[in-house]
Amino acid sequence: MAGCISSGVDSFIKEIYFELANILEVNVESPKTDSFLEYMRALFSILNKNLAGQEAYILLEEVPICEGDNLKEFTEKIIQLINVKTQEKSLSKIKFIVSSIDNPMIYINRFQVKVTQYLKFIEITYWPEEEIRSLNQLLQTQLSVRLDDTFNSKLIVKSKGCPRFIKAFYRNLISISTSESESLEIALRETTHDFYYL
């Protein structure tokens, strides 16, 4: 899951829907309305047709949740998703696992504690600067990319300890075919935008 879900929590369910369809090799179309509820129904339709009665884990890895209202809304939508899933008896063996640097558990109130039986939150931590630098160097070596010290430092600072940011930067970089100095700035700008400003 790339980027920050401040682009809209509803867009997050779309990503899950289309990614799951891709993994299951199912041809799907967008629901008639572009809403969380419609995509959630479509998601459960795919699960019922392909995984009913089967044990499966749906891992939402390193969800880039933003702070504040978006984190609260994300948590509420995930709880809604799980509550609907628990009513689908044919999907009782399916579990959702969410890993995120930000901890959505703070928004689960005492009336919603039961949802944690069906949803496992794994809190991951930001990487120390030394590890981020090592990852950055490893990717440069593997991709035969050379960055000067100034740009390396800038990239490390922008990553804020998030390894996904570093990996996303290099994905963006290799997809751009302009001059080197321009490519670096474009890739960094796009990555920063995807993670923090959408």
pLDDT along the chain (198 residues), means of 10: 53 84 88 86 92 88 61 79 87 82 66 63 79 95 91 93 89 76 85 65
56: β partners: 94
- Same domain as 109, residue 134: no
Rounded Cα gap, residues 33 and 53, in angstroms: 29
Which of 106, 123, 140 is the C-terminal boundary of a domain?
123
What was the pLDDT predicted at 7?
A: 53
* Residues 119 and 67 reside in one and the same domain: yes
* Same domain as 88, residue 147: no
Question: Rounded distance, CA 50 to CA 21, Å?
Answer: 10
Structure tokens at 103: 């901890």
* The pLDDT of residue 176: 82
pLDDT of 1 reads 45
Same domain, 183 and 106: no
Domain of residue 19: give its range: 5-123
Q: Which residue, 142, 139, 59, 149, is CA-closest to 95?
A: 59
28 with 118, same domain: the answer is yes
pLDDT for the residue numbered 54: 93
**123, 141, 165 - which closes a domain:** 123
Same domain, residue pair 75 and 147 = no
